[in-house]
Structure 1
Amino acid sequence: MDLPVMPPVQPMLAKSVKGVPASGDHSFEPKWDGFRCLVFKDGDEVELTSRNTKPLTRYFPEVVAAIREQLPARIVLDGELFVAVGDRLEFEVLQERIHPAKSRVDMLAEKTPAAFVAFDLLALGDESYVDRPFSERRAAMTEALGGLSGPCFLTRTTLDPDEAERWFSDFEGAGLDGVIAKPLGARYEQNARTMLKVKHERTADVVVAGYREHKTSTPEKPLLGSLLLGLYADGELQHIGVSASFTAARRAELIEELQPLVCSIEDHPWGRWNEFLTANPDRVPGTQSRWSAGKDLSFTPLRPERVLEVKYDHMEGRRFRHTAHFKRWRPDRDPESCGYDQLEEPVSYDLAKILSGADQPRGGDAT
């Protein structure tokens, strides 16, 4: 392989902002919820690398085959790998694709095939595009990739902030994660937070059901690592996710504050799950999976008597997709009143329309 831009490449990153920028110097696009992926293609040679430059090629043979067939002979792209089930992106199904056994990789490639959506151009033919403004990169990419219909796609874009606001609201129903804003005049800067991202943020009142200690915790100086959170459904407390990201001082305060609630697992609503020793489909707290091999996932059970308000972006099935952020204690809330009915459900949206641009407004593309 001999390309103008060669691996390893660290992708350009984004910093969070509260809302869609209203200025006229940005290009907007959907924020895809998958694995960030750099594609390097030189003839029949194809390499896929992750955000942290690790190889992904062996896990997605069907995507490699599609890249060989659909993309120009020599090209370097930044984009996202995703798996769609029906009309939604499914991140958990995508995670299953990272497996050491070739037989399972091949089986999943057929059963739950992945796709690739391109959203930036680093090289084409013998030319590097990393020092060119995004407006030029997008124009060249549109010309080179126009007409793709899957499993390789070109992401849609718009220059209209109002249209981006609509995407932000509408596209979540297809499992997308928000909106990305790219300065039209910016070059491609590796590992730099040049882009802006607007993500969904909501709040929920959840029950604190346990905690895990921080990796630096010691008997002399115990520190809280994460809080295990729950919501009630049909009278039973379900595990919905975790809250973490505390300062060292706050970790020490929280673990001391929660000691009066510590109980035995036999007296805990999740005590019936104590029998599980391997991974299971309900993500039982404290159990192992291939993603957590070698990690201590044991937790300290707490009587489910305290309610916490958290911020979260969106759901993946019946759990928070990402770590929830601690906002405040809610002593006014009864734990049993904290159920799934409080969670906002996004309106469903046809993923095929997003990928095809079937409802793209007139003159919406950055080209």
Structure 2
Amino acid sequence: MDLPVMPPVAPMLAKSVSALPRGDYLYEPKWDGFRSIIFRDGDDVEIGSRNEKPMTRYFPELVDALRQNLPERCVLDGEIVMVAPDGKRLDFELLQQRIHPAASRVKLLAEETPVRFVAFDLLALGDVDYRDRPFSERREALVEALKTAQAPVSVTAATDDADLAQDWFGRFEGAGLDGVVAKPLAGPYAPNKRTMAKLKHERTADCVLAGYRVHKSGPDLIGSLLLGLYNDDGVLVNVGAASSFSMDRRRELFEELQPLVAVEDGHPWAEGEQENGTRTPRNSEGSRWSGKKDFSFVPLRPERVVEVRYDHMEGERFRHVAQFSRWRQDRTPESCTYEQLEEPVKFDLAEVLGS
């Protein structure tokens, strides 16, 4: 492989904002998948990840599609996404299952659950390095380079209309998208720098505190709080975790929660079920994403209610780790049900993908 931009390359990043910036920006849907830098030099294709490690072996069907749809020599930035079986939304959990160590399993999954690639930036084309050129020029060249591309490869939708982008923010969530990204039209491609802005959905939910994981730094520090909601059958479902505490707060929480430690039998989450609601594949899948992560937890009597901030749900669980807001002494655990959650507007993913 001999390209003007060679792997590995760290992708350009975005910082979170509370409102979309206005002015000389191009706005795009924020795709919910695996961020990827694609390198193609003839038949040689490499798929780089956000952590700059190659993911090529996990997506053989995409490698074939990239050879068919990309220019002979190019470097693109984009997102690998998985469309749910109903074709209506993205499915990140199903996408995670594609990262598997067994070649036979990779081949089977490639046939059963093929992925798509959505391109949104151009780093190189032919012998030309585009990274120092303004985004407006890179975008124009990207659209031209992929004008004949067909599914599963496409160019992301984009607009310079901030009002339309705000409308997208509300409507596209129903298709499983994360929010909206604003990119400065005059900006160069800046690897590993947060020069873009992202507006993501954030909501609050009152959850039952049902356990915690200890921090990697010591057994007297809280790593994360495990959260539950009651379903229609009265079962406490693990919906995920809340984290991001200072070290002092982790120590305070440990002391504060010791009286709730469940020493008797009958905790609603039996051993082996505590992983429900996490965003990491189970150890039994042998995923390289989980490594040697310890999923054991300390069960707590489900008596305390905590308010958390979250972006959106994926099935019965939080898509990302939630953020602790406050304790809710005024709420009973039994009142923490799925009924409190806001239902995103339904939206057909095909319209976002343009197919």
TM-score category of the 2 structures, normalised to the smaller one: over 0.9
Residue aligned with 2:351, SS: helix
- 1:238-253 aligned within 5 A: 238-253=237-252
What does the per-residue CA deviation read over 1:302-350, in whole Å, with 9 as the maximum and x for residues that have no partner? 1111100000001111000100000000000010000001111112211
Give the structure 2 partner of residue 106 of structure 1: 107
| 2:91 counterpart of 1:90 | yes
Q: Which amino acid aligns with 1:338?
A: C
8 Å CA contact 2:277–2:317 kept in 1: the answer is no
Structure 1, unmatched stretches of 5+, are 359-367
CA distance in 1 between partners of 2:147 and 2:9 (Å): 25
Give the structure 1 partner of residue 166 of structure 2: 165
CA distance in 2 between partners of 1:285 and 1:230 (Å): 17
CA distance in 1 between partners of 2:42 and 2:150 (Å): 21
CA distance in 2 between partners of 1:323 and 1:342 (Å): 19
Give the structure 2 partner of residue 365 of structure 1: none
What does the per-residue CA deviation read over 1:204-234, in whole Å, with 9 as the maximum and x for residues that have no partner? 000000011100014xxx1111000000112
Q: CA deviation at 1:32?
A: 0.2
| 2:75 counterpart of 1:67 | no
Q: CA deviation at 1:202?
A: 0.4
Residue aligned with 1:89, SS: coil
Q: When the two structures are aligned, how many residues end up with a matched partner?
A: 349
Q: Which amino acid aligns with 2:72?
A: A
Give the structure 1 partner of residue 127 of structure 2: 126
CA distance in 2 between partners of 1:282 and 1:10 (Å): 29
CA distance in 2 between partners of 1:287 and 1:152 (Å): 30
Give the structure 2 partner of residue 310 of structure 1: 308
- 1:31-42 aligned within 5 A: 31-42=30-41
Residue aligned with 1:84, SS: coil
TM-score (norm 2): 0.95
8 Å CA contact 1:286–1:297 kept in 2: the answer is no
Structure 2, unmatched stretches of 5+, are none
Give the structure 2 partner of residue 29 of structure 1: 28
CA distance in 2 between partners of 1:149 and 1:44 (Å): 18
CA distance in 2 between partners of 1:116 and 1:285 (Å): 22
8 Å CA contact 2:277–2:318 kept in 1: the answer is no
Give the structure 2 partner of residue 228 of structure 1: 226
Identity of aligned residues (%): 62
Q: CA deviation at 1:286?
A: 12
8 Å CA contact 2:279–2:320 kept in 1: the answer is no
Check 1:41–1:265 CA distance in 2 against 1; reply closer, same or farther (3 A cut).
farther
Give the structure 2 partner of residue 352 of structure 1: 350
Residue aligned with 1:267, SS: coil
Q: CA deviation at 1:167?
A: 0.6
8 Å CA contact 2:37–2:47 kept in 1: the answer is yes
Q: CA deviation at 1:149?
A: 3.0
CA distance in 1 between partners of 2:303 and 2:258 (Å): 12
Check 1:287–1:37 CA distance in 2 against 1; reply closer, same or farther (3 A cut).
closer
Give the structure 1 partner of residue 199 of structure 2: 198
Q: CA deviation at 1:148?
A: 2.7
Check 1:240–1:179 CA distance in 2 against 1; reply closer, same or farther (3 A cut).
same
Q: Among residues 325, 329, 332, which one is paired with 2:330 in the alignment?
A: 332
8 Å CA contact 2:308–2:325 kept in 1: the answer is yes
Give the structure 2 partner of residue 50 of structure 1: 49
8 Å CA contact 2:222–2:254 kept in 1: the answer is yes
Give the structure 2 partner of residue 3 of structure 1: 3
Residue aligned with 1:55, SS: coil
| 2:12 counterpart of 1:12 | yes
Q: CA deviation at 1:294?
A: 2.1
CA distance in 1 between partners of 2:249 and 2:305 (Å): 18
- 1:253-272 aligned within 5 A: 253-264=252-263, 266-270=265-269
8 Å CA contact 1:14–1:197 kept in 2: the answer is yes
- 1:264-303 aligned within 5 A: 264=263, 266-270=265-269, 273-274=270-271, 276=272, 288-289=283-284, 290-291=286-287, 292-303=290-301
Q: Which amino acid aligns with 2:3?
A: L
TM-score (norm 1): 0.92
Check 1:88–1:265 CA distance in 2 against 1; reply closer, same or farther (3 A cut).
farther
